[in-house]
């Protein structure tokens, strides 16, 4: 049975979902994968726990949403597009998400947390505040390159996909800015020569960096980020160390 035959969710047994999976696109290098959970389920009876089946389905649907929406735009992509890409039934989609916006928000929460985790892991081991900025920007750009669909979708759609999604994006920027200000305060204990950072300064620099990344992705794809990384890093250093008080 082909995935298209399941598009309206007429068949929704676990076996039906397995068969749909086989005809869906392969999903690789996804940030939504769960350790120990296969991204594609085998055909026919398999004896996997329901939790494993549900985790696999959710990962495929989130990956499919991000890929489809990054290509077509959030307002254009349909749930039919998502389930066809993921190789699941429509009813399976609604077992995990209330609607397309809920799918977007869950995808954003997962990937933005991964992004912050990568940034913190790279910068937290660096003591000097200037080198910490360089490490953080490098990790941020590396994560964008490793999650190209995320970068394309969330940097271009988050402020235009409705109030709830825009609020979630702004909350994430606020969270990151608060972390940067806290880092600076900690760094100044041993490096008082570095000026303090204000919350507005952090938000402004984060927003500017994201806008430059968005421009580069639109012009040259995520591959172009490597070309702008040296200058963007030094620009971030200059802006993050300007005394605006």
Question: What pLDDT does 159 receive?
Answer: 73
Same domain flag for 28 and 123: no
CA 5-67-170 angle, to 5 degrees, is: 130
DSSP 25: P
Question: What pLDDT does 51 receive?
Answer: 55
Question: What pLDDT does 56 receive?
Answer: 72
Domain of 107? Answer: 101-240
* Domain boundary, last residue among 80, 97, 114: 97
Same domain flag for 8 and 112: no
Question: What pLDDT does 123 receive?
Answer: 87
Same domain flag for 92 and 113: no
Question: What pLDDT does 115 receive?
Answer: 86
pLDDT tens digits for 85-142? 988 899 999 999 999 999 999 999 988 888 888 888 998 888 899 999 999 999 999 9
CATH of the domain at 144: 1.10.357
H-only helix segments in 97-198? 100-123, 129-146, 148-157, 163-187
Question: What pLDDT does 77 receive?
Answer: 93
* Domain boundary, last residue among 75, 97, 119: 97
Question: What pLDDT does 152 receive?
Answer: 85
Please indicate, yes or no, if residue 142 is contained in any of the structural domains.
yes
Same domain flag for 233 and 132: yes
Would you list the DSSP string of 217-234? HHHH-GGGHHHHHHHHHH
Same domain flag for 121 and 215: yes
Same domain flag for 52 and 106: no
Question: What pLDDT does 37 receive?
Answer: 46
Please indicate, yes or no, if residue 13 is contained in any of the structural domains.
yes
Structure tokens that stand for 44 in this block: 């026919």
Please indicate, yes or no, if residue 245 is contained in any of the structural domains.
no
Same domain flag for 235 and 135: yes
pLDDT tens for the 245 residues of the chain, in order: 333 323 333 334 443 444 344 344 544 456 665 544 445 544 544 444 555 556 678 888 999 999 999 899 999 999 999 999 988 899 999 999 999 999 999 999 988 888 888 888 998 888 899 999 999 999 999 988 888 888 888 888 877 788 898 899 999 999 999 999 998 998 899 999 999 999 999 999 999 999 999 999 989 988 899 999 999 999 999 999 999 87
Question: What pLDDT does 136 receive?
Answer: 92
Same domain flag for 20 and 74: yes
Same domain flag for 7 and 53: yes
Please indicate, yes or no, if residue 119 is contained in any of the structural domains.
yes
* Domain boundary, last residue among 97, 126, 160: 97
Same domain flag for 21 and 111: no
């Amino acid at each position: 049975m082909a995935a298209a035959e399941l598009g309206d969710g007429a068949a929704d047994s676990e076996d039906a979902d397995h068969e749909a999976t086989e005809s869906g696109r392969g999903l690789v290098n996804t940030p939504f994968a769960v350790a120990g959970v296969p991204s594609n389920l085998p055909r026919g009876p398999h004896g996997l726990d329901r939790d494993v089946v549900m985790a696999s389905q959710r990962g495929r649907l989130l990956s499919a949403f991000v890929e489809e929406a990054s290509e077509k735009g959030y307002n254009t992509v349909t749930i039919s597009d998502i389930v066809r890409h993921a190789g699941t039934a429509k009813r399976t989609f609604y077992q995990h998400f209330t609607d397309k916006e809920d799918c977007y928000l869950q995808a954003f929460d997962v990937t933005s947390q991964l992004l912050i985790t990568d940034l913190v892991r790279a910068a937290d081991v660096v003591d000097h505040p200037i080198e910490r900025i360089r490490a953080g920007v490098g990790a941020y750009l590396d994560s964008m390159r490793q999650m190209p669909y995320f970068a394309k979708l969330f940097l271009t759609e988050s402020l235009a996909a409705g109030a709830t999604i825009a609020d979630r994006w702004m909350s994430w920027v606020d969270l990151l800015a608060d972390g940067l200000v806290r880092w600076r305060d900690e760094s100044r204990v041993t490096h008082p020569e570095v000026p303090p950072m204000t919350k507005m300064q952090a938000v402004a620099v984060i927003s500017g960096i994201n806008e430059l990344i968005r421009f580069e992705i639109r012009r040259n794809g995520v591959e172009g980020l490597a070309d702008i990384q040296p200058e963007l890093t030094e620009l971030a250093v200059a802006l993050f160390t300007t005394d605006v008080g």
